[in-house]
Amino acid sequence: MIRNLFLFFIALICALLGLFSLTHREPRADFTYVNPSGIHTLDPARMSWMQDFRVALNLWEGLTTWDPKTTEPVGAAAYFPPGRSADGLTYTFQIREDARWSNGDPVTSRDFVRGWRRAIEPGTSADYAFFLTENIVGAAEYVRWRQETVDALSMLRSRGRLNKTNDELRMILPRSAADLEKRFAEVGLETPDDTTLVVHLRKPCPYFLDLTAFATFLPIHESIEMLRSNEVDSPLTREGLVVYDPQWTKPDYHRNGYPGLVTNGAYSLSDWSFKRRARLSINPYFRSADDIRCKTIDMLEYDNVSASIMAYESGDVDFLTDLTVPYQHELVRLAQSGERPDLKLCAVLATQFLNFNCDSKTVGGAPNPFKDARVRRAFTLATDREKLVSQVLGNGDRIAKSFVPPGAIPGYTPASGIEHNIDRARTLLRDAGYTSGEQLGHIELLVTSNTVRLGEALATMWEDALGVRVELRAQESKTFAQDKISRNFMMARGSWYADYNDPTTFLNCLTTANGNNDTGYSSEKYDALLAKANAEANPATRARLLSDAESLIVETDCPILPISHSTELIAIKPYVKGLYPNARLWFPFRYVSVDR
């Protein structure tokens, strides 16, 4: 019997092994890199992660793109520069005649409108839909109108009153469906012909051509319409949404005659297996396809950074974008000392900081000492950032005294911030009415579970300098995010990555109405300065206004405490040419050549 059991066991394993050997192996790609956290989505409208953007922007091409060395906007699917009206409110893009989809179709202006429209639709819209709704005439109004339909239907459904015979439903859906095109026509996008796209902006946007390179602004091929799921005779689903089969990003998906994912960038997706690998192959119709050296790119997903580093060391992988391992400080040292020239540090446009809760009371109802700007300033003065960055972080980050990283954005000089000064910090606390640190009561610092070391260092620093008692609350990231949004903290760790090359990507976060203002900071002066800068046409004056605004938040009011400007460590094999370390971590693979 035992023998039979063994035989059965072995037969089962043989069967699995047989299946296993059937998965065919393609030859090694021209260029291989690892994406440790994996692709979250390949739907450009739904993306939030840098790793996803990187794949998307190699598959698709927007109206503009970023130069791989300088990250300045340059031409892509449209000629550069586009026509711009004198008031800066109208852009006229001329799409290149040789812009082609990976199935040979010409790229048209309607493809862009399709992509942009999809990106703002409720139920699809994600983190970056605001790029469109904030800037394009009528987009926010359209979304608001759409949202009303969805909310009404959702309410009916949760009351259990949604069925086919329900009169209310019968009215709501067709009414919105009938108005759909009419309402969208009010959005400031025009397509006078196949190659012309006219965009009307709500307000001047000096960085608009930087935005149009972003994934949210990518075109979508018309074949996606084959995968639209909706009620019979209606463009909308029962929920009032515009929904496409989420499988549309697959190269081998063919329901309803769908050709599989069609893209317009230098590469097309030829294979994607979940959590294993994505293979990009050259788009033969791309205008400079013949000049591109790497015809195939493999993106491997290892769920483990250490394993990916070993794969890099053993030569299986040519490029790593993430080296976040416990021994990272050692790798940073090797990169800085030049012992490992293949390890490179990229000073990225990002800032790590602390949020102060500026509300008058904490969530628990206790009085909040941090509502007083002097207390916040005192804590900033008592923070020795040199020590934090050199002794605690050890990841190559640069000291941050301002919110916007210095030297990164052309024409902008960030505010200088405040220096470490314990005596002044103590004086300020006394001015605020606290003769000893203990009078501040119980101070809580909220950190994520992977920033505990930073939290401990800060707590010790403040305890030594101000005599306050600081308690650390470490949370796993999703719970942390929830507490941060509901402002259930006194101080909380924050980090911000620039979305575009302009100081407002940072500074907007602290305006009164901004959804990413976790501090509750609200200053009329600050909001007015930003509004004034927004309306300012002269770049120099605009930069000065923004810098004034920044000095409010890092020198006077201090709703945030900047700690460091991030540095990312990447690894490029010496035989790989055409990858340039840059502040946006933007790596277009069409310029890469590999000479092993």
Partner 1 sequence: MIQKIIKRLLAGVATLLIVYAATFVMAVSIPGNPFQSGDRNMPAEAEQALRARYHMDNNWTFFTEYLAGAIRLDFGPAFTYSDWTCNQIIASALPVSMLIGLLAILIALIIGIPLGVVGAVRRDRLPDFVGLSIVILGISIPTFVTGTAALTLFCVYLKWLPVGGWGTVWHLPLPAITLSLPFIAYIARLTRTSMIGTLECDFIRTARAKGLPERVVIWKHALRVAFLPVLSYLGPATAQAMTGSFVVEKVFGIPGLGQHFVNAALNRDPGLILATVLVFSAMLIALNIVVDLLYGVVDPRIKAAV
- Collect all residues with Cβ–Cβ distance below 8 Å to 182 and sequence separation of at least 6: none
One of 78, 132, 153, 392 touching partner 1 (CB under 8 A):
153
Q: Minimum distance from CB of 22 to partner 1 (Å)? A: 11
Q: Minimum distance from CB of 361 to partner 1 (Å)? A: 21
Site string for partner 1, 49-88 (x = CB under 8 A): x---------------------------------------
Query: Which residue's CB is nearer to partner 1, number 108 or number 133?
Result: 133
- Is residue 330 close enough to count as binding partner 1 by CB under 8 A? no
Site string for partner 1, 205-244 (x = CB under 8 A): ----------------------------------xxx-x-
Stretch that binds partner 1, among 2-10, 102-110, 205-213, 378-386 (CB under 8 A): 2-10
| Residue count of the chain | 596
Query: In degrees, to the nearest 5, what angle opens at C-alpha 207 toward C-alphas 354 and 496?
Result: 15
Count of residues of this chain found to bind partner 1 when the rule CB under 8 A is applied: 77
Query: Which residue's CB is nearer to partner 1, number 256 or number 304?
Result: 304
Q: Could you give phi then psi for residue 136, rounded to 5 degrees?
A: -95, 135
Query: Which residue's CB is nearer to partner 1, number 11 or number 178?
Result: 11
Looking at residues 157 to 196 of the shown chain, list those that interact with partner 1 (rule: CB under 8 A).
Answer: 157-158
Q: DSSP strand E in 45-101: where?
A: 64-66, 73-75, 83-84, 90-94
Q: Minimum distance from CB of 46 to partner 1 (Å)? A: 6
Stretch that binds partner 1, among 43-51, 325-333, 523-531, 559-567 (CB under 8 A): 43-51
Tally of CA atoms within 13 A in the half-sphere of 351 that contains its CB = 25
Q: Minimum distance from CB of 301 to partner 1 (Å)? A: 7
Query: Which residue's CB is nearer to partner 1, number 112 or number 130?
Result: 130
Q: Minimum distance from CB of 353 to partner 1 (Å)? A: 11
- Is residue 522 close enough to count as binding partner 1 by CB under 8 A? no
Query: Which residue's CB is nearer to partner 1, number 3 or number 182?
Result: 3
Q: Minimum distance from CB of 122 to partner 1 (Å)? A: 4
Task: Look up tokens 């051509």; give the residue.
Answer: 209
406/351 Cα distance (integer angstroms):
11
- Is residue 41 close enough to count as binding partner 1 by CB under 8 A? yes
- Is residue 40 close enough to count as binding partner 1 by CB under 8 A? yes
Q: Could you give phi then psi for residue 292, rounded to 5 degrees?
A: -80, 125
Tokens of 341: 């020239």
Looking at residues 500 to 519 of the shown chain, list those that interact with partner 1 (rule: CB under 8 A).
Answer: 515-516, 518
One of 31, 496, 506, 521 touching partner 1 (CB under 8 A):
496
**Of 511, 472, 495, the residue nearest 564 (C-alpha):** 495
One of 129, 189, 447, 465 touching partner 1 (CB under 8 A):
129
- Collect all residues with Cβ–Cβ distance below 8 Å to 23 and sequence separation of at least 6: none
One of 151, 291, 438, 471 touching partner 1 (CB under 8 A):
151
Task: Say if strands 560-572 and 319-320 run parallel, antiparallel, or are unpaired.
Answer: antiparallel
- Is residue 450 close enough to count as binding partner 1 by CB under 8 A? no
One of 80, 145, 207, 497 touching partner 1 (CB under 8 A):
497
One of 23, 337, 435, 538 touching partner 1 (CB under 8 A):
23
Considering only the C-alpha atoms of the chain, give the largest distance between any 2 of them, rounded to a whole number of Å: 88
Looking at residues 238 to 257 of the shown chain, list those that interact with partner 1 (rule: CB under 8 A).
Answer: 239-241, 243, 246-247, 249-250
Query: Which residue's CB is nearer to partner 1, number 128 or number 267?
Result: 128
Stretch that binds partner 1, among 6-14, 215-223, 284-292, 403-411 (CB under 8 A): 6-14
Centroid of chain to Cα 111: 23
Query: Which residue's CB is nearer to partner 1, number 147 or number 427?
Result: 147
Query: Which residue's CB is nearer to partner 1, number 170 or number 276?
Result: 276
- Collect all residues with Cβ–Cβ distance below 8 Å to 20 and sequence separation of at least 6: none
From the CB of residue 6, how many other CB atoms can be counted at a distance below 10 Å? Answer: 10
Query: In degrees, to the nearest 5, what angle opens at C-alpha 434 toward C-alphas 433 and 435?
Result: 110
Looking at residues 266 to 325 of the shown chain, list those that interact with partner 1 (rule: CB under 8 A).
Answer: 273-276, 300-304, 306-308, 310-311, 313-314, 316
> Each residue of 227-251: b (16+ CB within 10 Å) or e?
beebeeeeebbebbbbbbbeebbbb
Query: Which residue's CB is nearer to partner 1, number 20 or number 338?
Result: 20
Query: Which residue's CB is nearer to partner 1, number 150 or number 418?
Result: 150
- Is residue 476 close enough to count as binding partner 1 by CB under 8 A? yes
One of 31, 33, 35, 43 touching partner 1 (CB under 8 A):
43
Cβ pair 90, 198 in contact under 8 A: yes
Outline where 358-433 has alpha helix (H): 373-381, 385-387, 422-431
170/57 Cα distance (integer angstroms):
42
The region, left, alpha or beta by phi > 0 then psi within -120 to 50, assigned to residue 260 is left
Query: Which residue's CB is nearer to partner 1, number 163 or number 538?
Result: 163
Cβ pair 102, 96 in contact under 8 A: no
Cβ pair 60, 218 in contact under 8 A: yes
Q: Minimum distance from CB of 44 to partner 1 (Å)? A: 12
Task: Say if strands 277-282 and 73-75 run parallel, antiparallel, or are unpaired.
Answer: unpaired
Q: Minimum distance from CB of 211 to partner 1 (Å)? A: 15
Q: Minimum distance from CB of 426 to partner 1 (Å)? A: 33
> Each residue of 253-286: b (16+ CB within 10 Å) or e?
beeeebebbbbbbbbbbbbbeeeebbbbbbbebb
Number of H helices and number of E strands within the chain?
A: 17, 21
Residue 344's DSSP bridge partners are 570
Query: Which residue's CB is nearer to partner 1, number 147 or number 191?
Result: 147
Cβ pair 141, 186 in contact under 8 A: yes
- Is residue 387 close enough to count as binding partner 1 by CB under 8 A? no
